[in-house]
Amino acid sequence: MAKQVLITGGAGFIGSHLTDELIRHNCHVRVLDNLSEQVHGPGAKRPQYLAKEVELIVGDVCDAMTVRDALDGVDCVFHFAACVGVGQSMYEIARYTAVNNYGTAILLEELIEHPVRKLVVASSMSIYGEGLYKDAAGNICPTAGRNIAQLKAGLWDIGDDAGSALIPAATPESKVSCLNSIYALSKFDQEQMCLIFGNAYGLDTTALRFFNVYGTRQALSNPYTGVLAIFISRLLNNKAPLIYEDGRQLRDFISVHDVARACRLVMDSSRAAGEVFNIGSGQKYPIQQIATRLAAEMGKNIKPEITGKYRVGDVRHCFADITKAREVLGFSPQVPFEHGIMELVEWVKSQHAIDKAEQAVGELDRRKLMI
C-alpha cells in the first residue's frame, strides 16, 4: 500500500530531493511550504523543480489550521520547515524562534488530534558545537573549545589546558551538545521536542542530524545557506569566496541524494524509533581546499580570500561518525564527493546568483558578531 507523506518545508533544497526519492518508491507526497522569499526569491511561485505529482500547500507551519489541513490522510511526516543560518539567527532571534520552535510546537499539537505512523525531524550537526577531540594518548576531551581571547589573537586551533594540541576526531551521536548559536538551540529544541512527544504519545519518531548537505537546487542567492552555495554565488559573480579564520577548519560534506536516501531508509526502518542519527559522509575536508576545488571545476582562476576573522557561533572542526546509521539503518553514502561536485557545477552553469555575502558579513560586523 502506498504511503501518504507530508514534508514540511518540502519545496526547499533537501525536501524537494526527498520528494523525488519518495515518489520513486511509490509514495504520495504532500508539501507544506511558505515559499520564503529568502530561499525562493520574490513572487512565491511553485518551484519548477518540484515534481508535478507533489501536492503543494503554500502556507505557514505556525498556522494551526493550515497544519491541520496538511495532515489530513497522512501517515508519515518529515518535519523540515525551519529558518536556517547560524549568523542570521544571532540577530533575527524572534523569527528563528517562531518558525523553528513555535512551528514545531504547532505541528506536535496537531499530531495529538491527527496521529500518524512515523515522524522524522531534521536536526543539525550545529547542536554539537565543536566536534569531538582527543589528546595525543587517545583520551576523549569532551569540553574542548575556544575562548574569546584566543580567537581575538587568531589562535584558531584547540588545545588542552597545558597548551598541547588536540586532535579532531569523528563526532558520534553520544557527544554532549554544546549550543553556541540561536540556530543550534532551535534545532536542538526541534529534535528534543519531537523525541519527547514521540515517547509520550507512542509515536515512532526519529531525529536526523544533517551535516553539510550540498547539491542541486540550493538557494544560491541566499547568503545564509550552505557554504558551497555561498562560494558558488561568489564565483558566478567573479568574486573570491570569503573564508573565515585560516581556511583549515574541517567539515563533512554529503550529497543531497544520499541524505534523501537516508530519510527514506528511516521511514521504512523498524529500529529507528526514538533514535538520533548522524547523516554525513564520514569524511573531512578543509574549507579552503573546497573553495579552491570549486573554482577550478567552474573554470574560475580565483583564489579564496582568507579573512582571518571569526564569526560568532562557528566551530573549528566537526565531521560525522556514521557508524550508528550504517549499523541500524543500513545507510552508507553512495555519491563520491568528486561526482557530487561535478553534478553541482554542471547544474550551476544554468543558474543565476545574486551575491549577498558581503551584505551578510556587514550585518554581522554591525552587530559586533565578527571578531
**Averaged pLDDT for residues 183-203:** 98
pLDDT at site 193: 98
Structure confidence by residue, pLDDT tens digits, 74-83: 999 999 999 9
pLDDT at site 271: 96
pLDDT at 160 over 90: no
**Averaged pLDDT for residues 32-57:** 94
Share of the chain above pLDDT 70, in %: 99
CA 320 vs CA 18, 171, 254, 291, 331: distances in Å = 21, 5, 10, 20, 13
Which domains, ranges and CATH numbers included, belong to the chain? Answer: 4-131+171-364 (3.40.50.720), 132-170 (no CATH)
pLDDT band at 164 (very low <50, low <70, confident <90, very high): confident
Cα 236 off chain centre by: 23
124 φ, ψ to 5°?
A: -150, 150
**Averaged pLDDT for residues 82-86:** 94
Tell me the pLDDT of the chain averaged across its residues.
95
Find the catalytic residue in 183, 224, 244, 310: 183
pLDDT band at 141 (very low <50, low <70, confident <90, very high): very high
pLDDT at 179 over 90: yes
pLDDT at 197 over 50: yes
Least confidently predicted of 39-43, 203-207, 246-250, 256-260: 39-43
**Averaged pLDDT for residues 211-222:** 95
Sign of dihedral through CA atoms 232, 237, 238, 244? negative
Structure confidence by residue, pLDDT tens digits, 247-270: 999 999 999 999 999 999 999 999
pLDDT at site 60: 97
Q: Please indicate whether residue 91 is annotated as part of the active site.
A: no
pLDDT at 234 over 60: yes
pLDDT at 370 over 60: yes
> Contact, 7 vs 74, CB < 8 A?
no
| Cell numbers linked to 123 | 536536526
> Contact, 13 vs 85, CB < 8 A?
no
Q: What is the number of H-type helices and E-type strands within the chain?
A: 14, 16
pLDDT at 2 over 70: no
Candidates 256, 281, 332, 277; CA nearest to 19 is 256
pLDDT at site 44: 80
Q: Is the pTM of this model over 0.75?
A: yes
pLDDT at 287 over 60: yes
Candidates 252, 268, 83; CA nearest to 170 is 252
Q: What is the DSSP string of 306-355?
A: E----BTT--SEE-B--HHHHHHH-----S-HHHHHHHHHHHHTT-----
pLDDT at 112 over 80: yes
| Cell numbers linked to 305 | 580570500
More confident residue, 358 or 339: 339
For 73: left if phi > 0, alpha if psi spans -120 to 50, otherwise beta; the answer is left
Candidates 263, 171, 258, 252; CA nearest to 208 is 263
pLDDT at 42 over 90: no
pLDDT at 35 over 50: yes
Give the C-alpha separation, 227 to 285, whole Å.
13
> Contact, 89 vs 129, CB < 8 A?
no
pLDDT at site 1: 45
Q: What is the DSSP string of 219-255?
A: -TT-TTS-HHHHHHHHHHTT-PPEE-TTS--EE-EEE
pLDDT at 71 over 80: yes
Cα 335 off chain centre by: 18
Give the C-alpha separation, 236 to 91, whole Å.
28
